Every structure is written in structure tokens, then in C-alpha cells.
Amino acid sequence: MKRGRDEPGRLRGEPPPRWARIAPAAALVALVLAQALTPDAELGFFLAGLPPVAAFAYGAAGTAVFAAVVLLLLGLPALGVGHARGTDLATVAVVGLLSVVIAWVRQRRDAQLVSVRTVAEAAQLAVLPPVPERVGAVRCSGLYQAAQRGTLVGGDLYDVRAGPHGVRALVGDVQGHGLAAVGTVAALLGAFREGVIDDAGLAAVAGRLDRRLVADARAASVEHPELFATAVLLEFPPGLDLVRIVSCGHPPALRLRGAAVEELVVEPGPPLGLGLAGPALPAVAELPLRPGDQLLLHTDGVTEARDAAGHFYPLAARVPVLARDPGGLVGAVWRDLAAFTDGGPRDDVALLLLSLDGPG
């Protein structure tokens, strides 16, 4: 399952690019050769600028090596590179020492940043772990792209869980996006996972999610009391070739049957968290499934993405073509969407592809 704008683990620190490590050494060799070819010119003192440059690509030890080499080249006239003496050589030595200190501080801060990012990544993946390739009799393929750079979780969510009443799936979109919505995402996922085990009906699971958001919105610690979310819930009962669907103000799922694609239009309920349903639970639709049928669930970050001319992304029209991609449908949709929007939409995107293929 793809995460963020790169692969999982992208929050962790990366080493400096190769060119940044090669540049100081290349500059050192170039200046030495230039000085040898033009003995009348004084180019040696340009070497004094190399240790500070090396401090941004190397650690303290590597920077110290550069500083020592520069001091030797400038302090030994026999080498023919420089003729530094007295205060000039002392100045170069101070520059080299400061460069080593800068490299040590940078390296230490980088290590701290890697630690913080690693913890943040682990926490976010704990909230929204990747979906497995199979849950019970249901094959799964998911893709999540957070709109806010540097995060793995935003305002969209999905999950697929097996329970005593079959395999249940959830795709939702909470108010807002980015890190501010992660708390709501975690609350909904926790309520859903409890409902998969405890609630006999799919509508009861939706009611549980609605009550969770209503309770959170009434809490004094919640910044936005108008907290709500759209969601679609699916249930694959054991031993039956059908799917049950509950829609809470969410975009309809798509059913792929061969080359045909159609929207699964069901009676929509109100979004979660508004408390509009009262004691009545939302309607549950039952739809038969044939072997090979696939269900594509998505959030509005897909269908409301626009191109440069302001046109919405035509997901249903593009799916028949993209379904032939050997790399998988969800990845093909994301690549097509990124090309359509010239770099990717500005909203969170979640895609979940499910098919009932029998137990593996």
C-alpha cells in the first residue's frame, strides 16, 4: 500500500545527496590543479572556503579531514599551492575549527530530527496501518495520500476487519485534513473496530461512529464543535455472494464487472456526527456480487480534484482503462490523478479496492 507522496519510511532522515559529498573534494582537486597550471595567480586561499562547505555534507570527522588537508596545502610552501604564514594560517585554522563545530552540531540535530520523525511515523502508522492483501474471503488493495507534506495520515481513513458477522470495511472523510484531523480519524477507527466485533448489524456500526463524533464534538477539548465526517461502510457476510452497504453522505462506490463500471447508488444517510438520525438507524442496501466483481471506494479528494482548466477528475470514466494496468488499479488511478492535476490534488486521497474471491 502506498503512503504519502513517497514510499513508507519517507519521514525518516536521508543522507546528503551524493553531489553534496563530492562537491568539496572536487573543488579541492580543481583548485590545486588550477594553482599548478597558473603559478602566478594566488588561488590557494580559496581553499579556506572548503571546510565550511564540507560541514553541510560531512560529519565532524570528515570536516576535520578537509580542514587538515587545507591547512597542509596552505602551510607547506613546498607543495606549491599556498604560502600562508602567521595570522593568515591561524585564520584558516579557526575557520576549519568552526566548520568542525558546525558539522558536529548539524549532525547531532539531524540525529534528533530522525528520532522525532521515526516516532511520528510509528505513531501515524499505528493509527492507520496498511491494509493487508486479504482479510478473510476479501481481497484488498489500498492507497492513501495525505495532502499535508511530511505526514502519513490526514483527514481520510479506511480499514478492513474480519469479525463474527463477516468482513467489514470503512472509508471515511472527516472535516478538515492534515494533522489537525488525525485525532478524529483515530476515534472513528477505534469505534469501527469495536463495532466490527460487538455490533450484529452494519447500521449499528454506523450509529456507533455517529455517537462517537457527537460525543467528541461536545467535549470541551474539541476545537471545532461542528465536527462531522462522511463515510461508507461495507459488509461481506460469511458464505453469501453479496455485499451490504451503508452510506453516510459519502461519494458512492464503484462496481467493476468486467469492462463495465457503475456507481452503487444506495439510499444516503446523513454524515456522521450531526446526530440527525436520532433513534432510527441508516438504511442498509444489499447488492449481489458475481465472481470477479470489484468494488472501488474512494474519498472526494479523488472526484473533486481539478485540472488546470477547472474540470473535475472523471474517475468512473477512467477506471475501465486504468483497470488494465498490470501494476494494479489503485496505483494506476493515483498516477493518472497526479498527471491530471499536474502533481497531485491538494486534498487527502484514499482509495480502497475490494473483491470477494473466496478464501485463500
pLDDT in tens, 33-68: 887 778 777 776 788 888 888 888 888 998 999 888
Of 276, 298, 282, nearest in space to 172 by CA = 298
CB 146 within 8 A of CB 152: yes
Angle among Cα 55, 57, 61 to the nearest 5 degrees reads 60
- Alpha helix (H) residue ranges in 128-259: 182-198, 202-218
Distance CA 225, CA 219 (A): 8
CB 313 within 8 A of CB 305: yes
Q: What pLDDT score was predicted for residue 149?
A: 67
In b/e form, how buried is each residue of 56-85, taking b as 16+ CB within 10 angstroms?
Answer: bbbbbebbbebbebbbebbbeeeeebbebe
Give the H or E element holding residue 135: strand 134-135
SS3 state at 80: coil
pLDDT in tens, 219-234: 755 555 567 899 999 9
CB atoms within 10 A of CB 22: 11
Distance CA 345, CA 154 (A): 13
Indicate the DSSP class of residue 223.
S
- Alpha helix (H) residue ranges in 76-181: 86-127
Q: What pLDDT score was predicted for residue 360?
A: 41
Q: What pLDDT score was predicted for residue 33?
A: 85
Question: Whats the size of the chain, residue-wise?
Answer: 360
Q: What pLDDT score was predicted for residue 120?
A: 67
Distance CA 229, CA 177 (A): 11
Q: Which residues of the chain have pLDDT under 70?
A: 1-15, 44, 78, 80, 82-84, 120, 124, 148-152, 176-180, 220-226, 276-280, 358-360
Q: What pLDDT score was predicted for residue 75?
A: 76
